[in-house]
Structures are given as structure tokens and as C-alpha cells.
Structure 1
Amino acid sequence: MRQLQDTVWQRRGTSWVWDEEARNQVCAASEVWSLRQFLRTAGAPGVPRSWPDDLPSNGRRTLVVAGLDGSLDLLTPTDADLWLSDAIKPAILSFQDEYEGDAALVFWLPTGHSRIKVQASTDAVSWLCHAPHGYQLDFGRILWGEANEYPQEILMRPGGKPAGLFHLRIT
């Protein structure tokens, strides 16, 4: 998987971040939205979107959302797959459309370092859910259609451990 040392992830695209230092570079803890608030703002089919003119973080250019990890853990494998494709992906697309690619959406996943798995040979990305289900969710297939050449590992410093994953534009 390609690596990214640039700060573009702080201003554009969608990221899944598990490094606290990285998260602190884009927001204060009080600026983090709940997953519920994010989904409500994105609107549901037939419900209008209500995105704010100014985002809460990083000079009004970034939205950080927490709670995706806990929600995935509560669902069965089939329900998690459907929920990611039917609720989360459309909300990400709504965000991208609203800000025309000129804002960053960051999902804060504090345990992501041990739960996001990248298969070295294919760059396929999966999410390891905790008990009671304990399965691997095909994150990349669901969220970016297995366009595995596009996500990049976020590095905070040369030679450092990945702080998250960045994808410029989900389609």
C-alpha cells in the first residue's frame, strides 16, 4: 500500500485514523461529532441533508466522527455489511458532494491500529470486529469497491507506524 506523509488528509478526502497525535492535529476532543450526529446531518432517503456551512475543526475544513468502531461491533456480519453499504457509504458520498471534495472527513477509530488489516499482496483492507461476532468485514470492497490502489497509509513521520488510512475520493 502506498504511504502518505503529506497533510492532505487533514483538508480533503476521507480518512480512518487511530493515532491520537494525528487526531489532535485536526481537532480538539470537544469538536468530535458522534456517528449519530453525522448520519442525521447526512440525511436519509427522503430526509433533507443539513450540512453546516462551516465544519467544526481544522480551520473549518474538517469533520471528525467517532463511534463507527463500536457500532460495527454490535452488528452481525450480514447487518454490518449492509449498514456500511446502505448507510455509511451514502453518508460519506453526501459529505463529499456537499463540500465538493474541498473538506476532510475523518473517522476516529482509537483501536483501529489492531483492527484494520491490510493484506500486503493485494492491499485489500478489512476490519476485525470484536466478540461476540469476531469476524473480518471487507472494508475496502464495501466502501471503495476494491479500488485498492487508492487508499494510502497515513504516516506522521518518515519510517513511523501508520496513523490511519486516507482515500481522496470514494466513488
Structure 2
Amino acid sequence: MRQLFDTVWQRQGTSWIWDEEARNQVCLASEVWSLRQFMQAVGKWPEELPGNNGRTLVVAGLDGSLDLLTPEDAEFWLGDAVKSAILSFQDEYGSEGALIFWLPLGRNRIEVHIPTDEVKWLCEAPFRESKLDFGRILWGQANEYPQEIFLKERDKSAGLFHSRIT
């Protein structure tokens, strides 16, 4: 997976971040939307986004919502409702807005298979043996496109960035 040291993820595309410093670079905690607010905004997006001088929307709660569902239901919901909402956001803002999913425990829940760049979500109890195939569900296994976000050289990854989901 390619490494990204640029700040492009703060201005465009879709990202999944788990590093608090990274989240703090784009918004105040009070500017983070709930997943419910995000889903309700589909089709009636605000003119200006709440974070990063009107360029970024940070959404919290995706992880908790996935944990409440069976793996089968989570896969369907992620590929249907959540992906549709992401596509709607992209259609509205194009390259003028960044969508960021804040996953505080994502470092331990997102698994990247290095040889193939497959990205999986590790399910929580009682489904710990299951994994959701993020790559297949959200970006159709276009595995060459997601990039690992790094804030500094020799740092742990802060998240994943995808420039445009189709």
C-alpha cells in the first residue's frame, strides 16, 4: 500500500482515521458529526462543511454501528446505505471537500494484508472470528488506490485515504 505524507486527505477524498492528532488537525471535537447526522444529510448537504475552514466533514460512530450488527447485516448496510451516502457526499463536494470517518480504535480493527493491499474490518464480540472486506464493499477491490496516511516519517499510520470511491 502506498504511503501518504501529504495533507491532501484533509481537503478531499474519503478517509478513515484513528489517530487523534490527525483528527485534531482538521476539526474541533465539537465539529464532529454523528453517523446519524451524516446519514440524514444525504441529499441536503450544507453549503459549508464544519471543519478545516469549510473543507472537511468528520463523522464518528461508524465503528459502533458496525459492532451492533451481525457481519452479514453490517456488510449489506456498509455496501448499501453507507456507500450511497459517501457517493452522495462526493457528488456534492467533488474535490472541494473531505469526508473523514473517525475510528478511535481503528488501528486495532482495520487490517491491511500487505501482499494484496486488501483492507478488512475486524468484527467485535460476539463475532470476533469474522472480518468485513472493506476493500470489496467500499471501493470494489481497487486495492491500488487506498493509501496509508502518515503524519511523520517513521510514525505509525494515522489512517487510510481514498481519493474517490466509485
| TM-score of the superposed pair, with normalisation by structure 2 | 0.98
2:96 is paired with a residue whose SS is coil
For 1:69 and 1:100, how far apart are their aligned partners in 2? 25
The secondary structure found in structure 1 opposite 2:164 is coil
State how far apart, in whole Å, the 2-side matches of 1:5 and 1:165 are. 11
Residue deviations 1:108-152 (CA, integer Å, cap 9, x gap): 000000110000110000000110122110011000000000000
Give structure 2 stretches of 5+ with no counterpart: none
Bigger mean CA offset, 16-25 vs 97-106: 97-106
Distance 2:93 2:133 in 1: 27
Take 2:95 and 2:76, find their aligned partners in 1: how far apart are those partners?
25
Q: Secondary structure at the match of 2:67?
A: helix
Distance 2:121 2:20 in 1: 19
Percent of matched pairs sharing the same residue: 70
Task: Write out the 4+ residue segments of structure 1 that deviate beyond 3 Å after TM superposition.
Answer: none
Q: Which amino acid aligns with 1:29?
A: A
One-letter amino acid matched to 1:160: D
SS in 1 for 2:158: strand
Match of residue 155 from structure 1: 150
Structure 1 unaligned runs (5+)? 43-48
Within 5 Å, give how 1:10-159 maps onto structure 2. 10-42=10-42, 49-134=43-128, 135-159=130-154
C-alpha separation between the residues in 1 aligned to 2:141 and 2:94? Answer: 23
Kindly tell me the number of residue pairs found equivalent between the two proteins: 165
What TM-score, normalized by structure 1, do the two folds share? 0.95
CA distance in 2, matches of 1:85, 1:19: 25
